Amino acid sequence: MFDDFFIRALVAGIGIAFVTGPLGCFVVWRRLSYFGDTLSHSALLGVTMAYTFDLNIAISVFLISSVIALILIQLQKKTNLPGDALLGLLAHSSLAVGLVVIGFLTFIRFDIMGLLFGDILAVTTNDLLVIWTGGALILIVLKLIWKPLLASTVNYELAEAEGLNPDRAKAIFTILMAAVIAISIKMVGLLLITGMLIIPAAMARNISDSPQKMVLFSIIGGLLSVILGLYSSLEFNTSSGPSIIAAALILFILSLFKIKQSIKLKN
Amino acid sequence: MNSNNNILVKLNNAGFRQGEKWLVEGVSLTVEKGKIVTLIGPNGSGKSTTAKIALGIYKNIEGTVEKYTTKVSYVPQKISIDWTLPIRVYDFMLLTETIEDSAIDEALSLTGVIHLKNKNLGSLSGGEFQRVLIARAISKKPELLVLDEPVQGVDYTGEIALYELIKKISDTLNCGILLISHDLHMVMKATDHVVCLNGHVCCSGSPIDVAKNNEYKALFGEKASQILTTYEHKHDHVHSDEGEIKKN
């Protein structure tokens, strides 16, 4: 059944959408989109490492992204540079270093476009296993830290005072971010992963009145984007990442009409 | 050594420093079951900081905090809800602990905001929001309740009712309350122990003792002292600013 590359891509994309939906909501709520960018840009280093040492791409991306996240947390403590400058510094330098390293790896032919923008031909049966087991693990962990994470998103001090240990929840969430980037890099491409996290969540915000509903609509939006995007990718022979993100954008634009309606109703 | 098992939280010579600046230092106080301890003091005197030390929000403190309960509710001075997070009053009630619907309804009714249950938190007025914050805090049936200016922005009659509610909560749940308040009338009526702060503890004791204290008078003025001492005997009237007597 997974012989057809397109079916594989579809199954992979659906698995990814289930995970990016809820995580994307937290990225929007906690204003972490640049953090997501930084982690995904650094993923290129992970990919080069995977090729050099013949590792699984997802695992090596996960490791590198986690290391970058740790470095970021250390830098935030040790320097006075503002957060966005630090993020930019890490994002672009890790992307640059990744590209330079690729230049040295002349013995491997890289499909740079595929890495940056995703490639549906690249998804193997093995990747499906990584995406679905990794994805299930991410969702289970997110479910476990849901309460402390949401409470500290609303108010850190409230969560801390009432014994929910928000720092631990934040640290675990950072690891989950690295993990979601690792499982979605092949499909969506490292330049566009943050879009997959943010756009369905932003769409969901426009039509939700509670955190749980926003998560649900964000998943549905992601699923629709993947399905629409992959079919058009096949139809028009475009890269999978941009096609999925463009589909998500269309859903977002449609959700804006819902807002206009509700504003009109209020008046 | 500590044979009194009514103690919920105890600060021993506690202080907190941000950079070179001490926000507050040398605070010792105890909150016991069923008792209300009120922190008063001018802006920037370290009231909120002291509350956060007691709650364990600040970690690198001087001195020690001993906490004998984990059932804690907190009403912070300020919460801002980001637009990106859609959250109703109902969701907010469940934020830190899963509680039954009946307990949610009861708490919201007590603070007079049951009609807002399905409203978005971001659409509430300042006073409504405070009522929701208090409802959330009491619905958890805490052992220790920390209230940082809980009635700010609440209308005058509501303010009195909410303070009466807080007093009632302390009696019925037998919970200890650490209250930060600017309302000296209230402080006198319900509080068991007053701690007057100004970067350090300038005086503490029963409300009447504090009112008579010279440091307190220097900090708040003679008039504030009168407000407190007028409560020494039962009153059925209040004194207006001009000194007229108004019947309650």
List pLDDT tens digits, range B201-225.
988 888 888 878 888 878 777 777 6
pLDDT-derived band at A21, boundaries 50, 70, 90? very high
Is the pLDDT assigned to residue B78 strictly greater than 80? Answer: yes
Answer whether B95 sits within 8 Å of A213, measured CB to CB. Answer: no
Shortest CA gap A147–chain B (Å): 6
Return all residues near B67 (Cβ < 8 A) that are at least 6 apart: B8, B9, B10, B54, B56, B144
The phi, psi pair for A203, rounded to 5°, reads -60, -45
For residue B248, the model assigns a pLDDT of 47
Q: Is residue A251 in a domain? A: no
Beta bridge partners of B147: B75, B179
Residue A146 Cα to chain centre, angstroms: 18
Return all residues near A165 (Cβ < 8 A) that are at least 6 apart: A148, A159
Q: Is residue A87 in a domain? A: yes
Cβ-nearest to A162 among B84, B92, B96: B96
Q: Is residue A257 in a domain? A: no
Answer whether A211 sits within 8 Å of B73, measured CB to CB. Answer: no
Answer whether B85 sits within 8 Å of A162, measured CB to CB. Answer: no
Beta bridge partners of B9: B31, B67
Minimum CA–CA partner of A214 in chain B: B86
Shortest CA gap A237–chain B (Å): 35
Return all residues near A228 (Cβ < 8 A) that are at least 6 apart: A244, A247, A250
For residue A82, the model assigns a pLDDT of 87
Is the pLDDT assigned to residue B242 strictly greater than 60? Answer: no
For residue A3, the model assigns a pLDDT of 67
**Nearest one of B14, B65, B62, B64 to B197, comparing CA atoms:** B14
Answer whether A155 sits within 8 Å of B79, measured CB to CB. Answer: yes
| DSSP element (H, E) containing B77 | none
Q: Is residue A42 in a domain? A: yes
CA gap B89, B121 in Å, rounded: 5
Q: Dump pLDDT digits (tens) for A251-263.
A: 999 999 876 666 5
pLDDT-derived band at A2, boundaries 50, 70, 90? low
CA gap A33, A203 in Å, rounded: 15
Specify the CATH number for the domain of residue A91.
1.10.3470.10
Q: Dump pLDDT digits (tens) for B154-199.
A: 888 888 888 888 988 888 889 999 999 877 777 777 788 999 998 8
Q: Dump pLDDT digits (tens) for B79-127.
A: 999 999 999 999 999 999 999 999 999 999 999 999 999 999 989 998 9
Return all residues near B54 (Cβ < 8 A) that are at least 6 apart: B9, B11, B29, B31, B65, B67, B146, B178
A113-117, A140-144, B43-47: lowest mean pLDDT where?
A113-117
SS3 B32: strand
Shortest CA gap B233–chain A (Å): 38
Return all residues near A156 (Cβ < 8 A) that are at least 6 apart: A166
For residue B59, the model assigns a pLDDT of 87
Beta bridge partners of B72: B144
Shortest CA gap B94–chain A (Å): 9
Minimum CA–CA partner of B55 in chain A: A161
Answer whether A162 sits within 8 Å of B72, measured CB to CB. Answer: yes
pLDDT-derived band at B234, boundaries 50, 70, 90? very low
Q: Dump pLDDT digits (tens) for A152-182.
A: 999 999 999 999 999 999 999 999 999 999 9
| DSSP annotation string for B203-247 | EEESHHHHHH-HHHHHHH-HHHHHHHHGGGS--SEEE-TTS-EEE
CA gap B217, B226 in Å, rounded: 9
Other Cβ atoms within 10 Å of B230 Cβ, number: 15
Is the pLDDT assigned to residue B233 strictly greater than 50? Answer: no
pTM assigned to the model: 0.88
Q: Is residue A75 in a domain? A: yes
CA gap B239, B228 in Å, rounded: 12
The ipTM estimated for the assembled molecules is: 0.86
Cβ proximity of B135 and B111 under 8 Å: yes
Q: Is residue A232 in a domain? A: no
Answer whether B88 sits within 8 Å of A210, measured CB to CB. Answer: yes
Give me the residues of B, 66-105, that contact A with CB < 8 A: 70, 72-74, 76, 79, 81-82, 84-88, 90-92, 95-97
SS3 B94: coil
**Domain carrying residue A186:** 5-190
Name the pairing type of β-strands B176-180 and B36-40: parallel
CA gap A244, A118 in Å, rounded: 10
| DSSP annotation string for A93-143 | HHHHHHHHHHHH-TTS---HHHHHH--GGG--HHHHHHHHHHHHHHHHHHH
Q: Is residue A205 in a domain? A: no
Residues across chain B: 248
Number of domains in chain A: 1
CA gap A82, A34 in Å, rounded: 13
* Count of pairs with CB atoms under 8 A, one residue in A, one in B: 68
Q: Is residue A57 in a domain? A: yes
Answer whether B56 sits within 8 Å of A161, measured CB to CB. Answer: yes
Residue A261 Cα to chain centre, angstroms: 31
Residue B96: list chain A partners with CB under 8 A: 147, 151, 158-159, 162, 164
Buried b (16+ CB within 10 A) or exposed e, A165-195: ebeebbebbbbbbbbbbbbbbbbbbbbbbbb
Query: Encoding tokens for residue A162?
Result: 């009432």
Report for A50-54, A61-65, A257-261: range of highest mean pLDDT:
A61-65
